[in-house]
Amino acid sequence: MSRSRVLIAALISSLAPNFAAADEGGVSFWLPGQFASLAATPAQPGWAFAGIYYHTSVDAGGGRAFASGGQIRAGLDARADLVFLNATYVSPNPVFGAQAAFGLTGAFGRMRASIEATLTGPGGGVLSGSRTDTLFGVADLFPMATLKWNRGVHNYMTYLTGNIPVGSYSPSRLANTGIGHAAIDSGVGYTYFDPTKGHEFSVVTGFTHNFENSDTNYQNGIDWHLDWAASQFLSKQTHVGIVGYLYNQLTGDSGAGATLGPIHSRVAGIGPQIGYIFPAGHMQGYLNLKGYYEFAAQHRPEGWNVWVTLAFSPPAPHDPAKPKTTK
């Protein structure tokens, strides 16, 4: 049974907002790490479903300040525990010779943020203080469409996604599960997968255009991101490897609310992953654990994050001319 087809439900489903990134308030639309192994590999037609538990812990220290809601906030420390729910339909009808898929992701969970800093203003005036905010709420909605092509061990994809700002958001809060503005993101990806040897490498890159937050008159700059993963199958059910990402803001923030000026941000992350495939009735299940340690941050918080993905997709049809144990 083809491993590339049993894993894809989890990989298509990895859509999420970013609650530990850059731009206004230290938050951007794109969540680094949402694409990983076998990202560009086609799937079996039909419905696929996934749930993702995401935990992140980041801080920025008093030396990094963020403009949000008309305020300058420094000493940011944030924790989030979120659950993302995704449904994706993979069409049996080719589009431009590719496999088309359409999905929608929503999320809910708990966000906690605090600031504690001393700020020195013009003329030597000093303002000190601390504040903590906790929110349990729903996030925005994230549609995605993909086209994927297979050429032997080479797989290619293009995607289009965006942000529908319907989540819990207020510019006066420190903690929000929505980002307060719309966004559109598009990119391309590639996966090398040799099922006979179990070697796999994937990379996906794209750009985000952010629309202005009408509550704060703040517009995030254009963001570039790259997610990558490499893994080795130890058996027909288990694979292990490493994952990583790069995130870089190409243009500065703008608008009347961008009181700190056109700042740019960046961060990188790397960590381990392990995945396990199992039968689940008339579906195939996939359980994946991956984690990232962040470094090289500029003008944004950094820390670590963990993903636990449980996905279900249609199984690959068995070829009666081949034994079931064939890779």
Q: Which domains does the chain have, with CATH numbers?
A: 3-118+125-313 (2.40.160.40)
276-293 residue pLDDT tens: 999 999 999 999 999 999
Q: What is the pLDDT of residue 325?
A: 42
What is the gyration radius of the CA atoms in the chain, in angstroms? 21
Residue 62 has which token pair?
């008093």
Helix or strand or coil: residue 6?
Answer: helix
Average pLDDT over residues 292-312: 92
For residue 12, pLDDT over 80 is answered with no
Q: What is the pLDDT of residue 156?
A: 98
Q: Which neighbouring-strand residues pair with 113? A: 78, 133
Q: Taking a C-beta distance cutoff of 8 angstroms, is the pair 260, 302 a contact?
A: no
d(CA 299, CA 61): 11
For residue 185, pLDDT over 70 is answered with yes
d(CA 136, CA 153): 44
Q: What is the pLDDT of residue 68?
A: 52
Q: What is the pLDDT of residue 128?
A: 54
Residue 54 vs residue 253, higher pLDDT: 54
Q: What is the pLDDT of residue 257?
A: 74
Residue 182 vs residue 131, higher pLDDT: 182
Percent of the chain with pLDDT over 90: 63
d(CA 216, CA 180): 9
| Band of residue 66 on the pLDDT scale cut at 50, 70, 90 | low
Residue with token string 């381990």: 272
Q: Which of 35, 29, 120, 79 is nearest to 301 (CA)?
A: 79
Q: What is the pLDDT of residue 265?
A: 84
Kindly give the residue spans of alpha helices, DSSP state H, lying in the chain. 3-12
Give 126's Cβ-side CA count (13 Å radius): 3
Mean pLDDT of the chain: 83
Residue 7 has which token pair?
């894993």
Average pLDDT over residues 263-282: 92
Percent of the chain with pLDDT over 70: 79
For residue 13, pLDDT over 80 is answered with no
Q: What is the pLDDT of residue 299?
A: 79
Q: Which of 213, 145, 144, 221 is nearest to 182 (CA)?
A: 213
pTM: 0.83
d(CA 107, CA 49): 14
Q: Which of 247, 143, 232, 238 is nearest to 196 (CA)?
A: 232
Residue 142 has which token pair?
């994230």
80-111 residue pLDDT tens: 999 999 999 999 999 999 999 999 999 999 99
Q: What is the pLDDT of residue 263?
A: 76
Q: What is the pLDDT of residue 301?
A: 80
Q: Taking a C-beta distance cutoff of 8 angstroms, is the pair 174, 73 a contact?
A: yes
Residue 274 vs residue 15, higher pLDDT: 274
Q: Provide the residue type at 43 as one letter.
A: A
Task: State which H helix or E strand residue 174 sits in.
Answer: none
205-236 residue pLDDT tens: 999 999 999 988 889 899 999 999 999 999 98
| Band of residue 305 on the pLDDT scale cut at 50, 70, 90 | very high
For residue 190, pLDDT over 80 is answered with yes
Residue 317 vs residue 22, higher pLDDT: 317
